Structure 1
Amino acid sequence: MSVPAELLALREQIDALDQQLFSVLAERFKVTAQVGQLKKQYQLPAQDVTRETQQLEKTAARAAQAGLDPEFAQRLQRLILDEVVLQHQRC
């Protein structure tokens, strides 16, 4: 059975969106690496719980405005924040 052309087209769109997501995420990690270097330079802790809490609150609000599940968005943001903290600890 062949795959309908409509399905193939949608899959191509998904692949393109995934590429954009990963490109943006890579750019974000480049910026957070700079943050990590500054934290090291100024002897600041790798993790800023207050900032993370604020970010998670913003994430929930932005997700809701975009029609996404805020809890899902916060889980995704938490995963990103945890990776950033790990990178900062490695500096």
Structure 2
Amino acid sequence: MTEENPLLALRDKISALDEKLLALLAERRGLAVEVGKAKLASHRPVRDIDRERDLLERLMTIGKRHNLDAHYITRLFQLIIEDSVLTQQTLLQQHLNKINPHSARVAFLGPKALTRIWRRVSTPLATLSSLLRAAARSSPIFLIR
């Protein structure tokens, strides 16, 4: 820390830690893809509630040793777990699309019609004309407003 600007030095350290956190999150996502492939090969479901519960309990215990609030740990890792689940669901959907390329397609009219679970596999359409153009290209079966 320099005497001229100790705040800047501290912020630089935080920025360096943020970069490390992002690299670790990217590595974790890569592992989630590998887990998804293993689940696909062994015909296991994407979501494992018992594993998620055990993981959160273990992480809260570790967080407590580091004086981190349990609520903070829970919120943070629920978001990370949800990203892993969505990543694995996307992998599964890509696999299913290869098996059955003529499966049902869904088109959404309006941004509010799109729920969080569909974010990775579908795109909301803002206007009726964009919906009709998409329908002509991809033959959706279901239209949701």
| TM norm structure 2 | 0.59
Cα root mean square deviation, aligned: 0.9
* Partner AA of 1:61 in structure 2: T
| Inter-partner Cα distance in structure 2 for 1:68 and 1:20 | 19
Unpaired runs of 5+ residues, structure 2, are 92-145
Unpaired runs of 5+ residues, structure 1, are none
Q: Quick check: 1:83 aligned with 2:96?
A: no
| Higher strand proportion (structure 1 or 2) | 2
Moved beyond 2 Å, runs of 4+: none
Higher relative contact order (CA 8 A, sep 6+): 1
Q: Which has the larger radius of gyration?
A: 2
Give me the identity figure in percent: 36
Following superposition, the deviation at residue 80 of structure 1 comes to 0.5
| Higher helix proportion (structure 1 or 2) | 1
| Inter-partner Cα distance in structure 1 for 2:89 and 2:42 | 14
* Partner AA of 1:37 in structure 2: K
Q: Secondary structure at the match of 1:60?
A: helix
* Partner AA of 2:53 in structure 1: T
**Counterpart residue number, 1:26:** 26
Q: Quick check: 1:9 aligned with 2:4?
A: no
**Counterpart residue number, 1:68:** 68
Q: Quick check: 1:36 aligned with 2:36?
A: yes
| TM norm structure 1 | 0.92
